[in-house]
Amino acid sequence: MMSELQTMQNVLVAREGHLAIVTVNRPSKLNALDDATIAELDAVFAAIDRDDTVGAVILTGAGEKAFVAGADISVLSKQGVLDGKDNSLRGQAMMLRIENSKKPVIAAINGFALGGGLELALACDVRFAAKTAKLGLPEVSLGIIPGYGGTQRLPRLCGTGVALQLILTGDPVTADEALRVGLVNGVFEPTELLAGCKAVALRMISRGPQALALAKQMVRRGAHLSMHDGLQLEADSFGIISSTAEFKEGMAAFLEKRKPTWLRT
Ligand code: COA
């Protein structure tokens, strides 16, 4: 995986065993998402999905101030009707790639997560924030609307009332407030954030990789289905997982009172 990503400037990928740490790396612009950064994130997550040695991903921002301070406003300011729509679709596609990735993706929100930055975090599976982070969708204060999924993912995660408060005021919330409304899963001191995220990632990595991928898929696909269809899909997949070597290993390890060995090359 590393060789095809070595030339990237705006997104860095580091490996620690089966963990991949992806860092949006434009600290002088508070990691704002320009076209190149969106394309690089898209390529990175495509490569991660193909790489069986990656068990989980942490996504964070470079520097101490920001996770991602939004879509790049200097790019947005030049857009017209057609390229505005294209821009939205490109950002949405990259975030869908993260949401639909086979690997669990944890957002380590180390500072400002505004606009496209919060939308990026919303596409991740689990979010943890530094106590100092600020999270919001300030688009209406710029005379625009969220365009990378914020109007859809935020109400699904936190409910319509919370989403509309954030979207219609444009005002950010603190990490503690984000925790209270279910926008993040936990809050850490800034110096503890990465270690906290790694601990959760390592728990996930210790589990069966195919089970993780299928369980995530059930939750993601189920969100678009009726209860009835979602339960059918779950039952089908519960049958399918019973055909895997991973199933046999997980069951055998429990019965033999030993730790399972998963197939991760
Ligand atoms: N797009 C492009 N550039 C951005 C950016 C964005 N979304 N957010 C920050 N930057 C740039 C600034 O223009 C500045 O660049 P410069 O040094 O070349 O002038 C640099 O990042 C540092 O930002 P600055 O505003 O000086 O930092 P600050 O600590 O004073 O303020 C924020 C931090 C996050 C409050 C402020 O940068 C901000 O409001 N950013 C825009 C947030 C936003 O509306 N995002 C949604 C976009 S849809």
What's the whole-number mean pLDDT along residues 238-264?
Answer: 93
**CATH number assigned to the domain covering 2-205:** 3.90.226.10
Structure tokens belonging to residue 72 = 């790049």
Q: Which fold has domain 209-255?
A: Lyase 2-enoyl-coa Hydratase; Chain  A, domain 2 (1.10.12)
pLDDT tens, residue by residue, 95-113: 999 999 999 999 999 999 9
Decide if 2-205 and 209-255 have a common fold: no
Q: Is the confidence at residue 2, as pLDDT, over 70?
A: no
Q: Is the confidence at residue 86, as pLDDT, over 80?
A: yes
Given the residues 139, 177, 189, 234, select the one marked as catalytic: 139
Asked if residue 70 lies in contact with residue 114, where contact means CB atoms within 8 angstroms, the answer is: yes
The structure's pTM equals: 0.96
Structure tokens belonging to residue 166 = 């954030």
Those residues whose C-beta lies under 8 Å from the C-beta of residue 199, and which sit 6 or more positions away, are none
162 pLDDT band, cuts 50/70/90, is: very high
**pLDDT attached to residue 27:** 97
Q: Is the confidence at residue 265, as pLDDT, over 60?
A: no
What's the whole-number mean pLDDT along residues 205-231?
Answer: 96
The burial of 151, by beta-carbon neighbours within 10 Å (0-12 exposed, 13-18 middle, 19 or more buried), is given as middle
Please give the distance of CA 17 from its chain centroid, rounded to a whole number: 20
pLDDT tens, residue by residue, 38-75: 999 999 999 999 999 999 999 999 999 999 999 999 98
**pLDDT attached to residue 144:** 96
Is 70 touching ligand 1 by the criterion CB < 6 Å? yes
Q: Which of 30, 37, 118 most suits a substitution to test ligand 1, by most atoms within 8 Å of the C-beta? A: 30
Pairing of strands 66-68, 112-114: parallel
Which residue has the CA at smallest separation from atom 6 of ligand 1? 72
pLDDT tens, residue by residue, 28-39: 999 999 999 999
Q: Taking the C-alpha atoms of 101, 103, 109 and 113 in order, what is their torsion angle to the nearest 10 degrees?
A: 0
Asked if residue 153 lies in contact with residue 123, where contact means CB atoms within 8 angstroms, the answer is: yes
**pLDDT attached to residue 264:** 75
pLDDT tens, residue by residue, 164-195: 999 999 999 999 999 999 999 999 999 999 99
pLDDT tens, residue by residue, 119-159: 999 999 999 999 999 999 999 999 999 999 999 999 999 99
Average pLDDT, the chain: 95
Domain ranges across the chain: 2-205, 209-255
**pLDDT attached to residue 8:** 86
Structure tokens belonging to residue 114 = 């505004």
Is 120 touching ligand 1 by the criterion CB < 6 Å? no
139 a catalytic residue = yes
